Structure 1
């Protein structure tokens, strides 16, 4: 859930007025990596408790 809040903050920061062509390509990448890192950390913490 931390990742979703973080992503929302980026989306708000990247309001239409702030978007340039470069940042409009960069933002989806940042959102993707934010979600990816959150899932990686979540899986890693789950694996610690696995037998």
Structure 2
């Protein structure tokens, strides 16, 4: 099993659109062979990145 972590910086005014895109993409990556899970963590402080964990077999 492998987990990939991505840090993604998003301007505050685009945060809602960014989160919506992750909700809408449900099913696209999920159908890829070996996919286990995807987790999106919101920034704690302004200026911090989103952290996205994707786990694969």
Give the TM-score, by structure 2 length. Answer: 0.35
Structure with larger Rg: 1
Q: Normalized per residue, which structure has more strand?
A: 2
Greater helix content: 1
What TM-score does the superposition give when structure 1 sets the normalisation length? Answer: 0.38
